[in-house]
Structure 1
Amino acid sequence: MQEARWLEHFSRSTLFGKVVVVVAVVVVVVVVVVVVVVVVVVVVVVVVVVVVVVVNNLYTKALAAGHSVAAAD
């Protein structure tokens, strides 16, 4: 019911009013898209950093184990 009233008001509003509503909707959509993109980029960066740290840690442990084996020989 409220949507029908809003649509009726929108259809009776002036061209300037319609432009303002369309611009406001576009701005909200752009802001939402930018926020989603930023969140996705942050998540990807965090995952990449965690993977690099874990791989580096395993590589360092493997090197240390390799050196201790070589030293035992």
Structure 2
Amino acid sequence: MASFVIVTEDGSCSEGEEMSFPELLVGRVRLESYSHEGDYVVLHFEGGVEMAVPESRVQHIVYRKQVA
């Protein structure tokens, strides 16, 4: 079960979802985490692939807090 979902103007993506980046010659990589960097939400994929989304395009982020 995903612990976060990021909803943008273009759709949504969630932890564990796979994406490919043919322009970088990268096959399917899994979304592992995200962070806020300046005016961007940066999506961190396995293999060191990152995608920065302008904060203005993010509608909301839904997340489940980890309970110890």
TM range (shorter): under 0.3
Higher strand share: 2
Higher helix share: 1
Q: Which has the higher contact order (CA 8 A, sep 6+)?
A: 2
Larger Rg: 1
